[in-house]
Amino acid sequence: MTKKANLNIAAIVPAAGIGSRMQSNLPKQYLVINQRTVLEHTLDKLTQIQSINQISIAISSDDLFYNQLNINDAKIKTVIGGSTRALSVLNALDNLKKNNKNQIDWVLVHDAARPLVSPNDINKLIDMAVLHQKGGILASKVKDTIKKANSAQQVEHVLETVPRAALWQAMTPQIFKFDQLHQALSDALAKNIEVTDEASAMEWAGFDVILIPGRSDNIKITTPEDLQLASFYLSQTNNILE
């Protein structure tokens, strides 16, 4: 069995979005929680993973904030992202392929706005992917009752209650073999397939994607309420985010 130590693993952090739902003039990845930006917290988690050899951050071409951060880890580089998350990831994949003499075996993609991800969960995700030789995603089982709405009416009504036993909430990181993700994402975008995350491109291309249970506090900061919750978690001196 191939060991992680023998693999070339890269990470991509798409960070070119503006985060309009945050109701802020700053992109959400640059909002500050506990004296550090969301992006800095996120990168801190990724740099703890010894098996990740390089991290590519896809930023906007008119980004005015990244260079103001105190990021000096040699394995972190930037690349210009695209108008969508999928295009940002593809640009980063293209750049990694062009600028690496050695084959990249696996690539891990993580949301810039998930600063609470557990390093233990990241390592578990990588271990399971390498063990099974299949791409996978961190995910959590749906806990709440799910309702499907009839949106054809002016006021939405419940159409049905959806059984939740087989439902999972997708999170990041998501990890895939480099060449497989590069091909799947390129083909999906070329055919105008809607790509909501990397797993959706891989599913469309016919690959199996395994689900790795992750901590439910690995929230994505999307609204002001999420920012407050993330601040609370990060302020706890004995929170278990290791």
Instruction: Identify the residue whose tokens are 């260079």.
Output: 67
Instruction: Identify the residue whose tokens are 């550090």.
Output: 36
Residues 132, 134: Cα–Cα separation, whole Å: 5
Sign of CA dihedral 209, 211, 212, 218: positive
Q: Please compute the mean of the pLDDT values over residues 47-65 and round it to a whole number.
A: 96
- Residue 19, pLDDT score: 58
pLDDT higher than 80, residue 1: no
Q: Which fold does the domain 7-134+172-235 belong to in CATH?
A: Spore Coat Polysaccharide Biosynthesis Protein SpsA; Chain A (3.90.550)
Residues 50, 39: Cα–Cα separation, whole Å: 19
Q: Please compute the mean of the pLDDT values over residues 46-67 and round it to a whole number.
A: 96
- Residue 240, pLDDT score: 46
pTM: 0.92
